[in-house]
Structure 1
């Protein structure tokens, strides 16, 4: 039953259709009469009959009406906030890696992380989990709308995870472990049941973008699908265009957004070929802020940017870090004593100075940074090349021919290949120098990212340098386990650990619902890292983010830095002082 108010409005708008149909098409500007009638009918059905269908927003209908009546359009809002990044988009594709990260703004995940690291709903209002952590129910916010006017439904959420779990390689674990799904229109919820406990599914679901079923159900190969846009989104903005020629992503206000109104009509992400070029763009004043996923503004450029007088910086301790990983199947790196010995060869203070310009901290053997839950203060890593040499000899590796290189059990000089990608050149040179000072020969091999992924997955290296992102430290069983568990796959995943002690700890963390048990398992995991040393942390770091002084309202969270919903709903321009 339509209420009196809705019925009256419905009748009035319907009369407009009748009147508009009587006007000769020659008197009307675009859209034509039939299109205008269709726009109005769809709008009425959605607004007054609560039908879930694609329809124009009120502002769009107003623009159509002005055009129809031959009136000048309203002045267009061209306000924009411009973000510089070295994260290069490689394809006109929604599932391009960095498009996916930037589109958290347009296709908001179910959950989000707060500035203190707690998890709250984003597309979801709230959630419930069963006692055994196998069944998770998410209650979807009732005022969420796609940018084409359709309402976000539990079926969209159900579809999203069924779809990516079978069609997106990095999300295959969802399809493999998901037993069943169900939706309830009555309480606007969707329930996922898994074949094993997932203690941190709420965290996992803070990273997967929600997609509209009515669009993507017609696309069979999402990773191969290309389009410059627009892409339908449900956030305060939608992705209007991917422009590879101008190296820019453009996000426009979602006309159907019901939440807090953003202060800017557009958000532009401009990517640059290198950090140095991105820094020049900020220094020139053409960009308003800088964002590099899981990384800081280049430390060496901070002072120069501040000297312009137009920027301030936000400093936050990161739970990400830089580390050196060992191929545990390769001798002598399979020997924990050897791994512990070479940890003393690294000049941590020097590498922090070179790599972070002092925005770093010497890590502990327990790997896990202080900002993580249940951090344990294990022994700090220490630089002492004489101790390194002594421990290498104690482990049975000696330089019998006095050529400066220690030998393996068969009398061969130990030469380790250090495999790196672009961006790790300077760190690799330091590591080469440090290890050779301790009597271990190192050959550095630099490859492109694709080759690095292939060789890493096939264990074709001895040592490699990599970085742990905040999400990487939290994923899987947390505390960095997602990088190491050999049952996992992924571009950044090293999957080098398969011993039963480690795997049992991971499974216990994933299964427990008891916080005291979780704290103990976290402690045990850090002790395991400190004793076995499967990876060598090189430094814990700060994230430095610059922003134009003429803008205020920036928010930071440990997972995605300043690139989060709170920032885009609150950032605004302020008058110059």
Structure 2
């Protein structure tokens, strides 16, 4: 059945369900609405929401996490960490198979972790992994060059999909492998159809290794680029779930819909930060005084209170403010246009300059609206800003990952631990051409490298906090990024849905227990 026929079928089912609840807990179709367009479906070599949501349904991972930040068994039924912290042993479940019927072995897990280490944008996530032993088909021994305080978290679904070695290990480039868009996984759902820019259709994996799961027959991810059309689809019952909703108008509008529930639960591990990034390799932006001038010109309070109608919280640094590692003493760059103009003059731009700002298409309030605000605000200090739109997410990601930008709005996640989500933006050895959400700012500071590398191996939280405090003070002075706000992510969903993911990864978590209520 084609996607279009499935979409019609799903719409009819949803519309009917508004008046006639489904009579059984298992089965049925879940339609998820999304504005973001994935380039492919393999989370081993691609970060982000667009890829992460389908990837975590298609691929299983060694561990999964609950809402209390505790690791839970998944492909690994148990695990042990050595006393010196230099090795972790995973004991795999027996009988698990990939969607093509081939058994999952320790060789697949080892291959997958190394593939992610070598090709994922988050270079620091598995950087300490030196070798992996596979003494038998069910045992994986990960050997580390140094202790890794975030390793177990990195083995989560959103970060460590287990790939079939017999499919992805054929010598082709992992980033452009044809199986990235037609993947074979071992998760609760199997890819049925992928129509780029339109929809992803996932069907139930009848041989999923967790008995009695998944509950649903099918998940359809509908790509709806127009936010107004997306909201109408949610209101009319043509879509059942809208995750990662951050717009104040969207939240308030869907809160009024009787058959929908709205929650902010399920985003604790994401740590989403909305920011303005500088290409420090640009001759216009290589001088720190220009970047500081822009920071003094931008009114973070106006953005969060007026443009975001108070639903966003200000964010002053690279580590989400809700984290115990956030440094409260970080400079705020309160608005000072006179100081901003003086810094521009000192940098040799008394007569001003022209800059281009990009933004992620889709979340208008958090991205395009702020970019347009920058155009008017920076004009006050002599900077003429051109706002450059992208037709879709892959185009924007290609520009920024290819370092073909001057300024760009961006949304970047902390991913639960700074080692995973923060280091990647600021380490000089993570300046990687063509890789989005790496150090696309081309920022380099030797002391920052030292501090982050030390924090990556420090198992004492108090000592880690000291290292991160110094790091935050340095980058706040260097301003490779001007941090604006934490995104107010919410999920809207049909009230009849049961077990909507509310763990630390939200909908970047297997939906094997999601079902329609009686």
TM-score by length of 2: 0.79
SS of the residue corresponding to residue 94 of structure 2 reads coil
Per mean C-alpha deviation after superposition, the further-off stretch among 342-351 and 506-515 is: 342-351
1:464 is aligned, of 403, 408, 423, to 408
Distance 1:458 1:158, change over 3 A: closer
Instruction: Count matched residues.
Output: 476
SS of the residue corresponding to residue 456 of structure 2 reads helix
SS of the residue corresponding to residue 489 of structure 2 reads strand
Verify: 1:554 aligned to 2:500, yes or no. Answer: yes
Distance 2:405 2:473 in 1: 26
| Offset, 1:451 | 6.0
Q: What's 2:19 paired with?
A: none
Verify: 1:135 aligned to 2:78, yes or no. Answer: no
Verify: 1:542 aligned to 2:485, yes or no. Answer: no
Distance 1:392 1:478, change over 3 A: farther
Q: What's 1:376 paired with?
A: 327
2:278 is aligned, of 300, 312, 326, to 326
1:417 is aligned, of 350, 353, 356, to 356
1:533 is aligned, of 471, 479, 489, to 479
Distance 1:390 1:165 in 2: 44
Distance 1:503 1:132, change over 3 A: farther
Q: Deviations over 1:224-264 (max 9, x none)?
A: 325986x5433333333334596232231333433353332
| Offset, 1:311 | 0.5
Q: What's 1:481 paired with?
A: 423
Distance 1:431 1:203, change over 3 A: same
Distance 1:453 1:270 in 2: 20
List gaps (5 residues or longer) in structure 1: 1-74, 399-406
Q: Deviations over 1:407-432 (max 9, x none)?
A: 74376433333344535332211012
Per mean C-alpha deviation after superposition, the further-off stretch among 86-95 and 106-115 is: 86-95
For residues 225-374 of structure 1, the aligned pairs below 5 Å read: 225=178, 232-243=184-195, 247-291=199-243, 295-316=244-265, 319-330=271-282, 333-353=285-305, 355-364=307-316, 366-374=317-325
| Offset, 1:221 | 5.0
- Is the 8 Å Cα contact of residues 37 and 197 (structure 2) preserved in structure 1? no
Distance 2:476 2:89 in 1: 38
Distance 1:204 1:94, change over 3 A: closer
- Is the 8 Å Cα contact of residues 337 and 380 (structure 2) preserved in structure 1? no
Distance 2:230 2:197 in 1: 17
| Offset, 1:536 | 0.8
Verify: 1:184 aligned to 2:151, yes or no. Answer: no
- With a CA cutoff of 8 Å and minimum separation of 6, indicate the structure with the bigger relative contact order: 2
Distance 1:319 1:436 in 2: 31
Q: Deviations over 1:15-70 (max 9, x none)?
A: xxxxxxxxxxxxxxxxxxxxxxxxxxxxxxxxxxxxxxxxxxxxxxxxxxxxxxxx
SS of the residue corresponding to residue 108 of structure 1 reads coil
SS of the residue corresponding to residue 568 of structure 1 reads coil
SS of the residue corresponding to residue 30 of structure 2 reads strand
Distance 1:227 1:525 in 2: 36
TM-score by length of 1: 0.72
